[in-house]
Amino acid sequence: MRKLSIKAFISSMVSLSAIATGSLAAGAPALAAELSNDNVFTVVGQNNPATDPANVQEAVNAAFLSVDGTVSLVGVFDFGSCTLCVVVPGPMTISGTGDPSVTDSASAPTTVIKASGTAPLAILDTGGPLDNITVERIWFSGAQTLAVMLLQVRGTFTFSHNKVSGVIPGNEFRFAVAGAKVGAVTEADSEAVTAALTRLGTADGPKLTGAVVFESNLIDHEIPMPVGDDNGFAFAQCHLKLIQVTNNFIRAGEAVEIEGCREIDAVYVVANNRIVQTPTRSNMAQLTKSPGLVRHGGHPAAIKPLDSEAALVIVRDNSIDMRQGPKTGVCVMTGNSNKASATRINGNTCNMKGQFAAILGGWAGTPGFFNPSYMHNASIRENRFIGRGLFGVALLNFSFLKIRDMALINKGHDNVVYNNDVKLFRASRHAVELGLLTRDNVVVEDFRGSIRDRGYHNTIDLRPYLRIGR
């Protein structure tokens, strides 16, 4: 993800004054919800932007006041061009009908929210660490730049069996769901955001401190985006204790992006997803250089937990199709800022067509968003690499423009690469590249392509399986 902020999402497009002035609780049209149980509020879509956002917001407010209430959305809703149309202030379930995440469900009744503004749904969780907000079974059809914005998560936010499609690219970026620290914004928008967070949340300190679970969603960035950051699920500078992304279909440039997040006991799990990379070119790759290489690379990364403090990062059993992606792309890029952290990259399939690398262990920093970081204590095993790439597994140095503090001197260490299926993969430069200051890495593999080890105390065992009749 590029260096972004709330300004990048919303400035020049909208004002957040409606949130700041309290329109969440007052001044909305009459509640168009029907009380079907003690705390279940049903809203029937009118396909009308003049009434639908206010009706849903009023039901959301009622569910919040009822404590762990449920908002049941039925039919087609049109949120029009408003931004942050509905803000969810605390624990509840918002549920649609049918299952839009199933591709063959066109004939089944499905709840649809149409929108052309930025972030038609926003989460500003004021509950406690044990509380839950769930959004499920809704088709978010269209939005400008971003479909769902996470401003604050204190408990657990679950996003499951939803579909997000038709998101219109913004000024070089696009997201299905995103959460980022509030950075520099215009004075007016800064005051509005601060007022909203003061009234509904906290005015200072980390806003994303709980857990997020993304399960069985369909994310389809099918609208062409020539250049920029084309993201599915993205987080920057968060303090989340758990990020779990499982069993989703994601068509995006960077399907899962976690960068610069802090929380030394956190766990990140990206597993059993089917990812198809879009051909969107990333400007970020052009801002860095790696010594000895003319070619740029590193972005977009289909899965990117980078500069993280998490105790454990698991990237497991994902199917990643890179064949339509730009040549600068990689399947998995990761780097840790916590010396005690561990990474497990196991059981993934990476299908390439001339991209930069299958596994890239580190990258340069981006000012204000994440620091340089490299991979250590990683196990890379039982993955399947198919096709051709410049590198298979690489621990490289990178510079970022001429900003010395953002340069990466790759000291990747104590990583183990073994028992991967590489029979159908060819590296055009090096199958494995270990930089000058890498150390104590072990590669036990029958990669097709040269191995370049310039580090120290690294162990390379080439084609071990030929000796046992593989």
Q: Judge whether 219 lies within some domain.
A: yes
Written as one string, the DSSP assignment of 23-89 is TTTSSPPPP-EEE-SSSEEEEE--S-TTTHHHHHHHHHHHHHHTSSEEEEEESEEE-TT-SS-EEE-
Res. 187: pLDDT tops 50: no
The pLDDT assigned to 8 comes to 38
Cα–Cα distance for residue pair 199/34, rounded to 1 Å: 28
Which one has a higher pLDDT value, 283 or 188?
283
Res. 5: pLDDT tops 60: no
The pLDDT assigned to 205 comes to 54
The pLDDT assigned to 333 comes to 97
Which one has a higher pLDDT value, 460 or 438?
438
The pLDDT assigned to 461 comes to 87
Which one has a higher pLDDT value, 412 or 400?
412
Cis-peptide, bond into residue 300, ω within 30° of zero: yes
Q: Judge whether 26 lies within some domain.
A: no
Res. 80: pLDDT tops 90: yes
Q: Which residues are CB-contacts of 13 (< 8 A; sequence separation ≥ 6)? A: 83, 117, 118, 144
What's the CATH code of the domain at 386? 2.160.20
Cα–Cα distance for residue pair 280/253, rounded to 1 Å: 6
The pLDDT assigned to 463 comes to 66
Which one has a higher pLDDT value, 189 or 445?
445
Residue 105, helix vs strand vs coil: coil
How large a percentage of the chain has pLDDT more than 70?
84
The pLDDT assigned to 199 comes to 59
Q: Judge whether 45 lies within some domain.
A: no
Q: Judge whether 36 lies within some domain.
A: no
The pLDDT assigned to 201 comes to 56
Q: What is the pLDDT of residues 134-155, one digit of tens each?
A: 999 999 999 999 999 999 999 9
Q: Judge whether 59 lies within some domain.
A: no
The pLDDT assigned to 21 comes to 36
Q: Which domain holds residue 202?
A: 6-18+68-468
Sign (positive/negative) of CA torsion 165, 171, 172, 176? negative
Q: Judge whether 190 lies within some domain.
A: yes
Q: What tokens does 369 get?
A: 């968003």
Ramachandran angles phi, psi of 384, nearest 5°: -120, 120
Contact 418, 462 (CB under 8 A): no
The pLDDT assigned to 109 comes to 83
Q: What is the pLDDT of the chain when averaged over all its residues?
A: 87
User: Partners of 353 in the beta sheet?
Assistant: 388
What would the mean pLDDT of 45-60 be, rounded to a whole number? 98
Residue with tokens 């199917």: 319
Q: What is the pLDDT of residues 242-267, one digit of tens each?
A: 999 999 999 999 999 999 999 999 99
Res. 194: pLDDT tops 60: no
Q: What tokens does 430 get?
A: 């090096």
The pLDDT assigned to 464 comes to 61
The pLDDT assigned to 68 comes to 87
Q: What is the pLDDT of residues 298-320, one digit of tens each?
A: 899 999 999 999 999 999 999 99
Q: First vs last Cα of the chain: how many Å apart?
A: 41
Q: What tokens does 351 get?
A: 């299908």
Q: How many Å is the Cα radius of gyration of the chain?
A: 23
The pLDDT assigned to 447 comes to 81
How large a percentage of the chain has pLDDT more than 90?
73
Q: Judge whether 370 lies within some domain.
A: yes
The pLDDT assigned to 33 comes to 44
Which one has a higher pLDDT value, 169 or 368?
169
Res. 56: pLDDT tops 50: yes
Cα–Cα distance for residue pair 341/363, rounded to 1 Å: 17
The pLDDT assigned to 173 comes to 87
The pLDDT assigned to 204 comes to 52
What would the mean pLDDT of 405-415 be, rounded to a whole number? 95
The pLDDT assigned to 190 comes to 46
Q: Judge whether 47 lies within some domain.
A: no
Residue with tokens 């105390």: 457
Cα–Cα distance for residue pair 189/164, rounded to 1 Å: 27
For the chain, what is the domain count?
1
Least confident of 103-107, 165-169, 298-302, 363-367: 103-107
What would the mean pLDDT of 36-40 be, rounded to a whole number? 75
Q: What is the pLDDT of residues 273-286, one digit of tens each?
A: 999 999 999 988 88
Q: What is the pTM of this model?
A: 0.89
Res. 180: pLDDT tops 60: yes
The pLDDT assigned to 66 comes to 93
